[in-house]
Structure 1
Amino acid sequence: MERGDAFAVVLPNGVEFFTAYLAASQAGFYLVPVNHHLVGPEIAWIVSDSGAKVLIAHERFAVTARQAADEADLPAAHRYAVGAIDGFRPYAELLDGHPESAPPDRTLGWVMNYTSGTTGRPRGIRRPLPGKPSEQAYLGGFLGIFGIKPFDDNVHLACSPLYHTAVLQFAGASLHIGHRLVLMDKWTPEEMLRLIDAHRCTHTHMVPTQFHRLLALPEHIRRSYDVSSMRHAIHGAAPCPDHVKRAMIDWWGHCVEEYYAASEGGGAFATAEDWLKKPGTVGRAWPISELAVFDDDGNRLPPGQLGTVYLKMNTGGFAYHKDEAKTRKNRIGDFFTVGDLGYLDEDGCLFLRDRKTDVIISGRVNIYPAEIESALLAHPAVADAATFGIPHDDWGEEVKAVVEPAPGHEPGPTLATSLLAHCAPSRRLQTAQEHRLHHGDAPRPQRQALQATPA
């Protein structure tokens, strides 16, 4: 391999993942983390598209890794396995024969994440390599945005898969500034509490679903673990219902903080104090980033007006690998968007509504799935929920929701009826309805906001 080359990994959370990450950053390579839940052809696409010259896989994912390597025409000598995979060389061979002293001419490498691919195939986010030694780059510096300091007895808990952009960024940055790391192989709510208590963890990166499932634990289990060591429980990646956020702050205190960002770069950050003053905000722009809201004609909107949220990183740009059209399409000048809708208030605080492509248009009315999901998640029988639109002859689209029942609750007509009754008087849905009426949209029966079909 030469500088600028890529290699892919299909690995669980573990030492091998970090060894690959550090090797890439020291040798001027691109590390391509692959979601190990993908099937063989999907992994093959990422390996081929990224130009990865080597694939390192764990034996847990032997079937899909072997299928992907075959489909991507990866030479047998370029396949390595942690454990045993037929046709793969032992991972230990990669560690043999290295000099104890640092090799000369090291240059900084980086991570090349692939987008989730909500439309079409996923695309790699590729940033130019600076061509300088890695020690000249303060790789943990961005944690200062969140008030996280080097050393300072910090212990980072990685409680989600490292193939996710933010999870690896937070964990890798923590490692670079002298923090101890605790890695969870598989997340469960009580095990997370146990690890925080046992290792006195100080910061972690989470998603709202984890909050919801922690709060669903019985009270005596929640209270049996000490989480007072936590300084920064930073969440992002999805909207967090207000009642869930408040409950976590009541339990864990003001360590519960929120950010909004994209794999492409840029973002906003809100402390617990910021959010309590302005419930629903995801914060103000990072010092290294800018935020703006534009309408569909590319006009920048003033505070309070809903539009498409755009971001800009002041530290450098990016391109979608092998997709110049997509790179240009999502830009207005130096700003880019991932398609979220929102508005900025007079203080520069960002409030999100939903992903533009997720908005359901029913009877000329914009319906935001995140609002309905928030209402559903407030029901004690709901562990998780997803809302989407399907075609309807009269309305254009109607709303459907898929619900995962919480433990102890059975799916069926009784639960569906209970959920409809719960959502009918929902403050969130009432507010949305009042907003539509205020702006002259056609009124709709409140019950139209949710159609329940047992599944």
Structure 2
Amino acid sequence: MYLTQYLHTAMRQDPERPFTVLGQRVRTVAESADRVRRLAGALRELGATTGDRVAMIGLNSDRYVEYLLAVPWADAVLVPLNNRWSVAEMAFAIDEAEIRLLLVDDAFAEAGSQLRRRCPGLEAVVFCGDGECPEGMLDYERLIAGSEPAEDAQRGGGELLGVFYTGGTTGTPKGVMLSHDSVLMNAIGSLATGDLVSTSGRMLHVAPMFHLAGIFVWLTGTIRGATHVLLPRFTPEGVLEALEEEAITDVLLVPTMMRMMVDHPDSGARDLSRVRHILYGTSPIAESLLSRVRALFANAKFAQAYGMTELAPVATVLRPADHDHPELRRSAGRAAPHAEVRVVDEEDREVPCGTMGEIVVRGDHMMLGYWKREHDTAAALRGGWMHTGDAGYMDERGYFYVVDRLKDMIVSGGENVYSAEVENALLKHSSVAACAVIGVPDDRWGERVHAVVVPHPGHEPGTEELRAFCAERIAAYKSPRSSELVDELPIAATGKILKRELRKAHWASDGRQVH
């Protein structure tokens, strides 16, 4: 299998079908395929050879879809970078992954200029926006117009499709290496769960496409013959308008987005009757919110996917029918057809139903490993199973429940935030003697990044000061949204900070310590 084969299939079966929609710009399958061929030709002319990494920093657009297809078409490797990162974080990934070519759009032209100056291995920056091409960059549309169409390299199978960066437990991002087979196995296996995506539907993309979840949904839609409607940014009014005016049938949302949409004063005035499938992830949805969302989308079926980038990304699925049973809605669903999932103890022995342990997963959708991180790869994939770092249990019917995290990670508004990254930034502040970062419950974000700080004598740094300081060094979404000052942190005999003790005060009434 190879990623671009579904574009070939669409060309044979339905070349005049609208493939991408961005505002008033509509491109058919045939038009998109021609542009993909020419972009692949341009990448080769710029020196991209077999296995070279090509990065993109941009908002959702039709050109992002072209990038996802043209890079493997040219026999190169995708590296879609998180557009919410700081320039320093972007530069780290570009240098580590040895990126030679970078694509940026209007919103990130300035970041592209900065990266061109600070990353010595970056040979060219391609501007793929609608505005005027900045000095020192190559114009995307001119490259496409002036390049000969390339033959598809049909890069596929076990070959590397992309390096997808996640947060790191040590404070630096890790590049997850996924093959074509792993990503396609995941998409096809997830579709096999049943009524997940419409056939020949109209799919709205508002979740960022640099995330593997966004790419996963795009791929399932492409396999099922969807028209892809793209929104550059999420706003509740923008999504509600697009759902109605573009006759959307399918959409991926996170619970934070859902809450903002049902709270919007215009939500009840929109005709949302054509929405048939809503896929959500990152956390189980609160019962009260689910009731409101189901009432708003009366004709939609809901499904939840649980997983991680390292699993391409789906491990379990809570199917539409499961949502009719209140006792199942707080679960993460059952193992998807392509995945084996179990719960193990500290010795990696499977534990009985109802017993807490670590959730582990294996299957052909697993990552190849972490880019240049052999030690981390060996630790994560020990025994042939991906160790998720999530603590939970399985019930007697095979439904999995996530109740805590063994790894030090917070999920806030659909984004993974590793505490070590935030702590490393905080410790550079002159007023901070020691700190611990935890996730606490938040009605809007699910979990909120919260800093517990031991200040130097005579200092009392406030939340806004700490947040602004961190935002200069890491992405804004990672910066603490709340904080507290303490005289000391609880320390175990091993010297490790007891974060469970810090979380207790915030999660005492919830029955678990994650959302």
With structure 1 as the length reference, what TM-score do the two structures score?
0.75
Kept in 1, the 8 Å contact 2:323–2:329? The answer is yes
Residues 22 and 142 of structure 1: is their aligned pair in 2 closer, same or farther, counting only changes over 3 Å?
A: farther
Specify which of 298, 302, 306 is matched with residue 352 of structure 2: 302
Q: Which residue of 2 aligns with 1:84?
A: 133
Matched, 1:279 2:329: yes
Matched, 1:114 2:176: no
Q: SS where residue 127 of structure 1 aligns? A: strand
Q: SS where residue 56 of structure 1 aligns? A: strand
- Cα distance per residue 1:367-393 (max 9 Å; x no partner): xx77x62xx52xxxx67651647379x
- Cα distance per residue 1:11-59 (max 9 Å; x no partner): 1111221111111232222111111222222111111111222111123
Q: Which residue of 1 aligns with 2:112?
A: 65
Q: Partner amino acid for 1:84?
A: C
Specify which of 130, 136, 160 is matched with residue 207 of structure 2: 160
- Cα distance per residue 1:350-370 (max 9 Å; x no partner): 11113224599xxxxxxxx77
Residues 330 and 138 of structure 1: is their aligned pair in 2 closer, same or farther, counting only changes over 3 Å?
A: closer
Aligned length: 385
Kept in 2, the 8 Å contact 1:13–1:184? The answer is yes
Shift of 1:92: 2.7
Q: Which residue of 1 aligns with 2:402?
A: 352
Q: Which residue of 2 aligns with 1:255?
A: 301
Deviates more, 1:9-18 or 1:142-151: 142-151
Q: Which residue of 2 aligns with 1:441?
A: none
Residues 64 and 205 of structure 1: is their aligned pair in 2 closer, same or farther, counting only changes over 3 Å?
A: same
Kept in 2, the 8 Å contact 1:34–1:163? The answer is yes
Q: Runs of 5+ in structure 2 lacking a partner?
A: 1-47, 411-437, 455-462, 465-480, 483-506
Residues 224 and 210 of structure 1: is their aligned pair in 2 closer, same or farther, counting only changes over 3 Å?
A: same
Matched, 1:290 2:340: yes
Q: Find the aligned partners of 1:310 and 1:140 in 2 and give their Cα distance.
A: 20
Map 1:40-439 onto structure 2 (within 5 A).
40-76=87-123, 78-82=124-128, 83-99=132-148, 103=151, 105-108=153-156, 110-128=161-179, 141-142=188-189, 144-145=191-192, 147=194, 152-218=199-265, 221-253=266-298, 255-265=301-311, 266-277=314-325, 278-315=328-365, 317-358=367-408, 373=441, 376-377=442-443, 386=448, 388=450, 390=452, 429-430=508-509, 432=511
Kept in 2, the 8 Å contact 1:156–1:179? The answer is yes
Shift of 1:315: 4.4
Kept in 1, the 8 Å contact 2:192–2:337? The answer is yes
Q: Find the aligned partners of 2:135 and 2:510 in 1 and give their Cα distance.
A: 58
Kept in 2, the 8 Å contact 1:43–1:65? The answer is no
Q: Find the aligned partners of 2:192 and 2:116 in 1 and give their Cα distance.
A: 39
Kept in 1, the 8 Å contact 2:197–2:277? The answer is no
Q: Find the aligned partners of 2:332 and 2:185 in 1 and give their Cα distance.
A: 26
Q: Partner amino acid for 2:176?
A: I
Residues 182 and 430 of structure 1: is their aligned pair in 2 closer, same or farther, counting only changes over 3 Å?
A: same
CA RMSD of aligned residues (A): 3.5
Q: Find the aligned partners of 1:331 and 1:174 in 2 and give their Cα distance.
A: 30
Q: Runs of 5+ in structure 1 lacking a partner?
A: 361-368, 393-400, 403-410, 413-427, 437-455
Residues 283 and 85 of structure 1: is their aligned pair in 2 closer, same or farther, counting only changes over 3 Å?
A: same
Shift of 1:300: 1.7
* Higher RCO (Cα < 8 Å, 6 or more apart): 2
Q: Percent identity?
A: 22
Q: SS where residue 100 of structure 2 aligns? A: strand
Q: Find the aligned partners of 1:289 and 1:350 in 2 and give their Cα distance.
A: 13
Map 1:432-451 onto structure 2 (within 5 A).
432=511
Kept in 2, the 8 Å contact 1:33–1:163? The answer is yes
Residues 431 and 114 of structure 1: is their aligned pair in 2 closer, same or farther, counting only changes over 3 Å?
A: closer
Q: SS where residue 62 of structure 1 aligns? A: helix
